[in-house]
Structure 1
Amino acid sequence: MDNSANTVLSILDTLAGAGFATCLFGGWAEEVLKLTRPRKHSDIDLLLVAPSWEMLVHHNPLSGLGFTEIPAKRFPHKRAYICLDLMVELFLVKPNGDRLKTLFWGDLPYVWSSPLCCEGTLAGTAIQCTSIENMVRFRAEHYSLQPWRWETFPQDTH
């Protein structure tokens, strides 16, 4: 399936209907926030606000919604699925007191700015999107957060 705005909206609606608190992240969020020009996207990145992966790991309600896990992309901070023939990556954002935090690779804490998300518009529909502050800061710090890990993985130059 084509990775279009309508596909993103369908996936967001499916997750929201199943009770998952997500907000758009990554390249699609940058486009919604007008930080980049519209372009072709290879996947859909979402932030998932939850205390743990418990619902996904032990109960896996996503399989009943048409999501198939990609086991090789299972990390402490993210899970990846195929849905509608596209990769959907979910990044876990845990409530931690009055802060929201992601524990990258299981040992590297990253504290998100508040508010985590803002309202955006995609194809004329209001959605939750990572805030401009969080998107810009994350992109600026992405590789510097864990340089020893990125040295072992090929880097996308796009």
Structure 2
Amino acid sequence: MTVRPDAGRTTVTRMMSRDEVLSVLALLRAAGTDVVIAGGWGVDALLGEETREHRDLDLLHVREQEPAVVAALESAGYTETLDRRPVRFVLSHPSGPEIDLHPLEFAADGSAVQSSFDPAEPFRYPAACFVTGTIGTTTVRCVSAEQQALFHQGYEPAGRDVADMRRLREKFGIETRF
């Protein structure tokens, strides 16, 4: 469990376990939705091991599948707690875990675009950035190490971000900002 400040108040968030991540992925797969893991769990999937605790699960989803994604998660007790659409939104479980959802618009070539808070600068995902990794013994879809490095730009990194990028540099030989 971690305590973190949030807009002038303090919230308590229980970490999201590997079993919970796999349960959410199975639930969404059963609902016929396509999701891709990003963020900290995405880094761990690329590395093939859990390297740290995670307070949330970042998922990229097909924008047109959003109603099915939300319905499946609501059936498991999640409720929307933050709406920053079209960029992102968060669903939280009463027991603490959070899922940070990022809607993507896919092109015919397999690339995708995600809205950003600056409409002139959307987040771009080349088709090649959608790869696979493992969580436990389960193969999962995630974003590539290079794409992870791109998303870790433009902000002051937390210690976990610095450690994640170091691990990706060591395993994949990529360049990162920090």
Please state which band the TM-score falls in when normalised by the shorter chain.
0.7 to 0.9
Q: Distance in 1 between matches of 2:129 and 2:140?
A: 13
More divergent stretch after superposition (97-106 vs 116-125)? 97-106
For the residue of structure 1 that corresponds to 2:91, the secondary structure is: strand
Query: For each residue in 1:87-145, what CA deviation from the matched residue of structure 2 results, as whole angstroms up to 9, or x when unmatched?
Result: 10011111134331011126131211222321211111111111222212222x3x26x
TM-score, normalization by structure 2: 0.68
Q: Distance in 2 between matches of 1:93 and 1:60?
A: 15
**TM-align CA RMSD:** 2.7
Q: Distance in 1 between matches of 2:108 and 2:83?
A: 28
Unaligned segments of structure 2, at least 5 residues: 1-13, 160-178
1:86 aligns with 2:97: yes
1:10 aligns with 2:20: no
Q: Identical aligned pairs, as a percentage?
A: 25
Query: For each residue in 1:44-65, what CA deviation from the matched residue of structure 2 results, as whole angstroms up to 9, or x when unmatched?
Result: 1111123474x26xx9513223
For the residue of structure 1 that corresponds to 2:127, the secondary structure is: coil
For the residue of structure 2 that corresponds to 1:41, the secondary structure is: coil
Equivalent pair of 1:51/1:95 in contact (CA under 8 Å) = no
TM-score, normalization by structure 1: 0.75
Q: Distance in 1 between matches of 2:55 and 2:61?
A: 19
